[in-house]
């Protein structure tokens, strides 16, 4: 969410959006960063290392994304990689627009799309992890699956 807020702020500044939009993005960055910090330290506010936690998360994600225990898991793995490729392509498009000194409004719209793809990639990765742990029957994951289905369905015919 912090990255979403950061990219939203950047896009909003490029597109000269309302100051209220910029404020919402800043609040998003602050609250998600604070939330991560409290989650890292726990309710007891014990000593913790963000570096170790981030490295551990990266290792766990890499492990999750290099195996598929079932057909269902393989489906989520493929969907995660598809969204990752779409995200990378959109990021490269943004880089090309910046290098070619394109219109700021055009760059801003591409940044908005990139953030959506980035969140969609995360959603599919979370569902892949839940599939590996046989947790897809939980209410949260059912709702996440519904969001993913709507997201993929919105691309049909475009």
Flag whether 64 is in a domain: no
Percent of the chain at pLDDT > 70 equals 95
Whether 158 has a pLDDT exceeding 60, the answer reads no
Count of CB atoms situated within 10 Å of the CB of 144: 17
Indicate whether 121 belongs to any domain: yes
At 107 the pLDDT is: 93
**Counted domains in the chain:** 2
Per-residue pLDDT tens over the stretch 2-23: 888 888 888 889 998 889 999 9
pLDDT for 88 equals 95
Higher pLDDT: 91 or 68? It is 91
Domain assignment present for 57? no
Tokens for 138, please give them: 């939980």
Comparing 59-63, 70-74, 151-155, the range with the smallest average pLDDT is: 59-63
Q: Say if residue 102 is in the same domain as residue 156.
A: yes
Q: Map residue 70 onto helix, strand or coil.
A: coil
DSSP state of 15: T
Instruction: Tell me whether residue 46 is exposed, middle or buried, using C-beta atoms within 10 angstroms of its C-beta: 0 to 12, 13 to 18, 19 or more.
Output: exposed
What pLDDT was estimated at residue 146? Answer: 93
DSSP reduced 3-state for 21 = helix
Q: Is residue 54 part of a domain?
A: no
Cβ 21 vs Cβ 38: under 8 Å:
no
| Full domain range(s) for residue 74 | 69-158
Q: Within this chain, do residues 89 and 22 fall inside the same structural domain, yes or no?
A: no
**pLDDT tens for residues 121-145?**
989 998 998 898 888 998 989 999 9
Strand, helix or coil for residue 65? coil
**Same domain membership, residue 138 and residue 97:** yes
Looking at the structure, tell me whether residues 81 and 22 fall in a common domain. Answer: no
Q: Say if residue 98 is in the same domain as residue 26.
A: no
């Amino acid at each position: 969410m912090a990255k979403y807020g950061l990219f939203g702020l950047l896009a909003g500044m490029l597109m000269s959006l309302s100051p209220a939009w910029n404020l919402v993005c800043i609040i998003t960055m602050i609250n998600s960063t604070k939330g991560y910090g409290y989650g890292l330290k726990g309710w007891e506010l014990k000593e913790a290392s963000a570096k170790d936690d981030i490295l551990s998360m990266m290792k766990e994600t890499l492990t999750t994304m290099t195996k598929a225990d079932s057909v269902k898991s393989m489906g989520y793995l493929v969907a995660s990689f598809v969204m990752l490729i779409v995200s990378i392509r959109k990021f490269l498009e943004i880089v090309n627009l910046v290098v070619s000194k394109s219109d700021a409004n055009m760059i801003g719209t591409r940044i908005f799309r990139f953030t959506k793809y980035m969140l969609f990639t995360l959603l599919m990765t979370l569902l892949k992890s839940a599939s590996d742990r046989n947790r897809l029957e939980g209410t949260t994951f059912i709702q996440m699956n519904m969001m993913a289905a709507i997201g993929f369905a919105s691309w049909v015919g475009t």
